[in-house]
Amino acid sequence: MSEWTPRQLSRPVIIGLSICYLLVLAYSVVIAGQLLLGVLIGAVFGVVYLGWRFLAAVEAIADALQRLARQREGE
């Protein structure tokens, strides 16, 4: 088993981001009167999160390839 572990957001950060998004969604509906504005911001949050997860996956692949290369050099 490798020593690499993916980075995860802590529970307070997830709760904080959720509260911020709910406030933005409430603002977009109540003040601005445009539901699509809140959905658009939620989509941006989702794309940023997926990009972050993709980067973590690429990091894990690169780490595994480096370990394989080190192991083959030792043979």
In this predicted structure, what is the pLDDT of residue 1? 47
pLDDT per position as a tens digit, 44-63: 989 998 998 899 899 989 99
Spans of the chain below 70 pLDDT: 1-7
Question: What percentage of the chain exceeds 90 in pLDDT?
Answer: 41
Q: Is 2 within 8 Å of 64 (Cβ atoms)? A: yes
pTM: 0.67
- Please report, to the nearest 10 degrees, the dihedral formed by the alpha carbons of residues 57, 58, 59, 62 taken in order: 130
Distance CA 58, CA 50 (A): 12
Give the gyration radius of the chain's Cα atoms: 19
